[in-house]
A and B are shown apart, each in its own frame.
Chain A
Amino acid sequence: MVPLKVIVFQINDEEYAIDVRQVQSIERVQKITRVPGLPPFVKGVMNMRGEVTPIIDLKERFGMGPSQYQKETRFLIVSVNGVIIGLIVDTANDVIDIHQDQIEPAPETISGTDREYLKGVVKIGDRLFMMVHLDRLISLEELHNIQKG
């Protein structure tokens, strides 16, 4: 079976993972321009090599309060169904191989994070990664509903 390469990043000392094919680049913190009238977790837009790219604070998205920018804070630029978006994460520093069958359903009592944004969890040794369900996380409909509401 072909191993799945994932990028590992951290939020609040917990480890999350995304399929490497969905990640375009990892950037250092840059200036974000606020866009009025958006939900708080959409921080605004950033200039990514000439493209206007929206930035989402994952920590705030998961309901854990806004991120504090640290030296290690990174913007994870991901592509979801052709939409390019930046995710603010505490740190992103690892690429590992996992197998599909290592992904287990997320336990009922996962801390803080809504289970619907997770594809499952992967346990390797004593490390536990939560596989993020990007499509659901940045579903356009949901954002537009929030905007309307």
Chain B
Amino acid sequence: METNQYLDLFLEESTEHLQAINDHLLKLENHPEDTAVVGEIFRSAHTLKGMAATMGYSDIAELTHEMENVLDLLRNEKIHVTTNVVDVIFQSLESLEEMVASIREGGQGNKDVSALVDLLNRIEKGDVEAAPVKPVLMDGLGPVSECEHTVITQAKSQGFEAYAISVTIDENCVLKGVRAYMVFEELENHGEVIKTVPDVEALENEQFDNEFRVLLISKAIEEEIKLKLLNISEVVKAEVDTFQPEQANLNQPDESARAEKSGDEPKTKPSSAANQAASKTIRVNIERIDQLMNLFEELIIDRGRLEDISARKKDPELNETVEKMVRVSSDLQSLILKMRMVPVEQVFNRFPRMVRGLAKDLDKEIQLTIIGAETELDRTVIDEIGDPLVHLIRNSIDHGIEAPEVRKKNGKNPEGNVTLRAYQSGNHVFIEIEDDGAGINREAVINKAVEKGIIAPEDAPSLTDSEVYQLLFSSGFSTAEQISDISGRGVGLDVVKNKIELLGGTITTESKPGNGTLFSIKLPLTLSILSAMLVKVEDETYAVPLSSILETATIDRSQVMKTHGQEVIDYRDKVIPLVTLRNVLNVPQTTEKQPEKNTYSILVVKKGSQMTALAVDSFIGKREIVLKSLGDYIKNVFAISGATILGDGNIALILDTNDLIK
């Protein structure tokens, strides 16, 4: 069967269904008694199975088939919803997502799903506690992945033993990386290294203290390995213990019992029907909307011409028609612009699961609250904002929220709260990430910044709190004492800041020690439409973005002074340079030389704390303009950031005032 033409459709729909399963699973975890939610999951899995089978993706079909069986039992209340069951379904979902992703990238969507299918089978047969191949925590070695788990189990069945090894290197050692390498050499002689904490790369770069851990599979006995290791010079301590991945599952029954108990509690059953009032939508390629916008702009040009003509002809009937057309086209314009706007929900909806996963990995209890997911942003911004948010949320969870015991000791609810909030205010959209964790330790930040040479020690006391928090976003900064794979190695926050600034936004930080931290991102509503002041210089019209204008004013010629050949004016007790646009832009003189005017029309523009006054011939007024690029041929023009098409169809250039500020 020729399936290529259906591939796009399959990818789009399966992504939607996977997202639906994800959303409903999270809901199910909170309301285990709600069989209607199970029904939703069942339907999505069923559709997915059908589609995958038609397209010939047998692994997806096989896995969804087993999921369906389990879901069917759940739906008919033959088995109960336990954390364990939900975990297994989540794992299946993850595998499904991997397979769909592989298909999207041109792969075949094949994956070994036998382990999961087996698990689902066991649940189906009533073994509700069938152990999920979940990350298993081992002392100091972090979670063990599914794959590693399989390797260990297999190795054990073949007479190998798994060892958790901790190696300590002398603290005076100069070449720690080399010693670590020698340890590996030695271990590789005896078996296979499955995992190290920190990872090999970090070890080779000496990014560890004096101790590191290794998970080894070997036939050798503990003592032998230990002796060999101690023989390496500068290794002061080596501990070798057998490693039992199953141990970590001991807490499993506990958790499921809790889930069942909570199921018994009288809870208001949420009416899932009410939540399902989904609006009817169709999918439209973004290119078509752009085309629509372009065509519409042409219409606006002709509208302008019609307006001119009707003004000349003075025909009441024509006037009336043109007026109506103007009104309708204004409505049409705002509608088309709105089409480019999409709810931030698209970005937000991947976070609940991410937070759930992180909380489990880090052994923290975290409640994520999402507010304002319906807030809309321009499509371009939506596409770019995801990664920075992921990073900030990870940061809040990893560094912000304390471990449950610590929270309890400090008189807080052991469950930490992370709030993700979006709202619109004026021409901006704010996205905030707030946690009620430990807050930012001012001293720790300053010490680190001094140590990294970002600030001078003598400057530290005079810094305001917000200046200190901004240090977090400097490149090469990380406050985490230990490197964790959750928030990386401090390469992230400066990247976050750059990305946000690239989108024309800003990020601010507020923090109260002991009470939590708030990251607030301010983004422009859309990238392509901005408010600008239109100004005239001779016959040419320029647009100056309002965001860079401090003030417009008319000043008398006598107020202009000269210092070192540069014209300056006195602006609110500050001397600022005066730049005449006609001169810097080489505007050709078109009209007869006019008598020198006695007043200047000026725009005061700013860049950071610097200000400059721009002299123009006259102001036309404020307009909403659509930003267009000058294209590939004309690039990097001094003081010009782009162009816009005016109502009369002519092009006005948009000034980049940053170039004009001296």
Say if A and B assemble together: yes
Q: A45: which of B301, B630, B636 is its contact (CB, 8 Å)?
A: B630
Whether the pair B650, A47 counts as a contact (CB closer than 8 A) is: yes
- In this complex, what residue of A is CB-closest to B648? A31
Whether the pair A50, B295 counts as a contact (CB closer than 8 A) is: yes
Whether the pair A45, B634 counts as a contact (CB closer than 8 A) is: yes
Instruction: From known contacts A33-B650, A45-B651, infer whether A52 and B298 are also in contact, taking CB-CB under 8 Å.
Output: no
Please indicate the chain A residues that have their CB under 8 angstroms from the CB of B632 in the complex: 82-83, 140
Q: C-beta contact mask, A1-45 vs B, less than 8 Å → 1, else 0?
A: 000000000000000000000000000000101111110001001
- The smallest beta-carbon distance between A141 and chain B, in angstroms, is 11
Please indicate the chain A residues that have their CB under 8 angstroms from the CB of B297 in the complex: 50
Whether the pair A47, B639 counts as a contact (CB closer than 8 A) is: no
A103 within 8 A of B: no
Instruction: From known contacts A33-B540, A50-B298, infer whether A143 and B637 are also in contact, taking CB-CB under 8 Å.
Output: no
B652 within 8 A of A: yes
Whether the pair B298, A38 counts as a contact (CB closer than 8 A) is: no
Specify which of B301, B637, B651, B653 lies most central, judged by the most chain A CB atoms within 10 Å of its CB: B651
Please indicate the chain A residues that have their CB under 8 angstroms from the CB of B585 in the complex: 36
Q: A47: which of B587, B633, B645 is its contact (CB, 8 Å)?
A: B645
Please indicate the chain A residues that have their CB under 8 angstroms from the CB of B650 in the complex: 31, 33, 47
A106 within 8 A of B: no
Whether the pair B629, A52 counts as a contact (CB closer than 8 A) is: yes
Whether the pair B630, A147 counts as a contact (CB closer than 8 A) is: no
Please indicate the chain A residues that have their CB under 8 angstroms from the CB of B294 in the complex: 49-51
A77 within 8 A of B: no
Q: C-beta contact mask, B292-306 vs A, less than 8 Å → 1, else 0?
A: 011101100100000
Whether the pair B635, A36 counts as a contact (CB closer than 8 A) is: no
Q: Which B28-48 residues sit within 8 Å CB-CB of chain A?
A: none
- In this complex, what residue of B is CB-closest to A84? B631
- In this complex, what residue of A is CB-closest to B293? A50
Q: C-beta contact mask, B615-655 vs A, less than 8 Å → 1, else 0?
A: 00000000000001111111111111001010001111100
Whether the pair A37, B637 counts as a contact (CB closer than 8 A) is: yes
Whether the pair A147, B636 counts as a contact (CB closer than 8 A) is: yes
Please indicate the chain B residues that have their CB under 8 angstroms from the CB of A54 in the complex: 630-631, 633-634
Please indicate the chain B residues that have their CB under 8 angstroms from the CB of A42 in the complex: 634
With A and B bound together, what is the CA distance between A45 and B295 in angstroms? 19
Please indicate the chain B residues that have their CB under 8 angstroms from the CB of A147 in the complex: 636-637
Whether the pair B301, A83 counts as a contact (CB closer than 8 A) is: no
Please indicate the chain A residues that have their CB under 8 angstroms from the CB of B637 in the complex: 35-38, 147
Q: Which B278-309 residues sit within 8 Å CB-CB of chain A?
A: 293-295, 297-298, 301
Whether the pair A37, B633 counts as a contact (CB closer than 8 A) is: no
A58 within 8 A of B: no
Please indicate the chain A residues that have their CB under 8 angstroms from the CB of B653 in the complex: 33, 35
- In this complex, what residue of B is CB-closest to A53? B631
Please indicate the chain B residues that have their CB under 8 angstroms from the CB of A49 in the complex: 294-295, 298
With A and B bound together, what is the CA distance between A36 and B540 in angstroms? 11
Instruction: From known contacts A45-B643, A50-B294, A52-B645, infer whether A144 and B631 are also in contact, taking CB-CB under 8 Å.
Output: no
B425 within 8 A of A: no
With A and B bound together, what is the CA distance between A61 and B453 in angstroms? 54
Q: Which B360-404 residues sit within 8 Å CB-CB of chain A?
A: none
Q: B638: which of A31, A37, A45, A51 is its contact (CB, 8 Å)?
A: A37
Please indicate the chain A residues that have their CB under 8 angstroms from the CB of B298 in the complex: 49-50
- The smallest beta-carbon distance between A2 and chain B, in angstroms, is 30
Please indicate the chain B residues that have their CB under 8 angstroms from the CB of A140 in the complex: 632-633
B334 within 8 A of A: no
B189 within 8 A of A: no
With A and B bound together, what is the CA distance between A139 and B405 in angstroms? 67
- The smallest beta-carbon distance between A39 and chain B, in angstroms, is 10
Instruction: From known contacts A33-B540, A35-B637, A35-B640, infer whether A47 and B630 are also in contact, taking CB-CB under 8 Å.
Output: no
Residues of B participating in the A interface, judged by any CB pair closer than 8 Å: 293-295, 297-298, 301, 540, 585-588, 628-640, 643, 645, 649-653
Contacts A35-B637, A47-B301 aside, 7 further interface pairs with beta carbons under 8 A come to A33-B653, A37-B639, A46-B651, A50-B294, A52-B630, A82-B632, A85-B633
Residues of A participating in the B interface, judged by any CB pair closer than 8 Å: 31, 33-38, 42, 45-47, 49-54, 82-85, 138, 140, 143-144, 147
A-B contact pairs, 26 of them (CB 8 A): A31-B649, A33-B643, A33-B651, A35-B637, A36-B585, A36-B587, A36-B637, A36-B638, A37-B637, A37-B638, A37-B640, A42-B634, A45-B630, A46-B651, A47-B651, A49-B295, A50-B295, A50-B298, A51-B628, A52-B629, A52-B631, A52-B645, A52-B651, A54-B633, A82-B632, A138-B633
